[in-house]
Structure 1
Amino acid sequence: MLNSRQDSEIENQIIAIWKSVLEVKKIAIDENFFEAGGNSLLMSKVHRQIKKQFDIPINIIDLFQCPTVESLSKNILKKYPNVLRETSGEA
C-alpha cells in the first residue's frame, strides 16, 4: 500500500506543473486534465516537465491513461516507487 505522504507530495508537484502549463490558479486532484482546459500539445509539455521534475522515463501514454492528478500520482508511485528518494535533495 502506498504511503499517503508520498501520494500528497507527488500530487502537489503534479498540481504545480499542471497549474503552470494550464495557467490556472486551482486544480483538484480528481479534475480531468482535458476538462480543465488541457489538450494534447499541453500534455506533451506536462510530460516533459514531469520527466524532468521526477527524473523518470515515464511514457506520455501513461499521462493520457491517467488524466487526473490522483491517478497519475498513483501510477508514478506504482511504476517508480523510489521516485521521491531519487528526486529529493534531502534525506
Structure 2
Amino acid sequence: MTTADVLAIFRTVLETEDIAASDDFFDLGGDSLLATRVLSALARAGGAELTMEDFLMAPTPELLAARAAGAAGAVVS
C-alpha cells in the first residue's frame, strides 16, 4: 500500500481532491464513521487490517500507508 493509494482513498471518502500526503484526516473534516470507511477500503485494497487505534496514531496518508505496509507484511499467529 503506497501513500498514493491511501491518498486516493482519503479523497474518495472525504469527497475532495485537495488533500496532501501530510494532511490530517480529522483536520480535513473526517470523523470516526468516515474513518471506518477508510479502514475498510484499506483492507479491501491492500489486505491491511488496521484498527481505529492505528488510524488515530497515524491520521495522515503517509503515516497510514506506512502502517498499512507494516500490517500487510506482518505474520499473524
Please indicate the TM-score interval, normalised by the length of the shorter structure: 0.7 to 0.9
**Alignment size in residue pairs:** 74
In structure 2, stretches of 5+ residues that fail to align are none
Percent sequence identity is 27
User: Which one scores higher on RCO, CA 8 angstroms, separation ≥ 6?
Assistant: 2
Give TM-score scaled by structure 2 length: 0.83
Rounded Cα–Cα distance in structure 1 between residues aligned with 2:16 and 2:29? 9
Residue 80 of structure 1, CA deviation: 2.6
Across the aligned residues of Structure 1 and Structure 2, the Cα RMSD in angstroms comes to 1.6
Which ranges of structure 1 fall in alignment gaps of 5 or more residues?
Answer: 1-8, 83-91
Q: Out of 39, 48, 56, which is 1:56 matched to?
A: 48
Q: What residue in structure 2 maps to residue 28 of structure 1?
A: 20
Runs of 4+ in 1 over 4 A off after TM superposition: none
TM-score normalised to structure 1 length: 0.72
